[in-house]
Amino acid sequence: MRKIKVAATAAILTTSTLVMAASQGMSPHSSLLEQCASALTTMDIQARLWMANEIPAHRISVTTNGRVVTLAGEVSSKTAQDKAIRIATLARDVDRVIDNLQVTSL
pLDDT at residue 68 is higher than 60: yes
pLDDT of residue 78: 94
Q: Which residues contact 74 (CB under 8 A, 6 or more apart)?
A: 56, 59, 60, 101, 102, 103, 104, 106
pTM: 0.70
Q: Quick: pLDDT tens for 7-56.
A: 555 555 555 555 555 555 555 556 777 888 888 899 999 999 999 988 99
Q: Which residues contact 32 (CB under 8 A, 6 or more apart)?
A: 18
pLDDT at residue 87 is higher than 70: yes
Closest CA to 39 of 69, 11, 12: 69
pLDDT of residue 105: 78
pLDDT of residue 17: 55
HSE of 35 in the Cβ direction (CA atoms, 13 Å)? Answer: 19
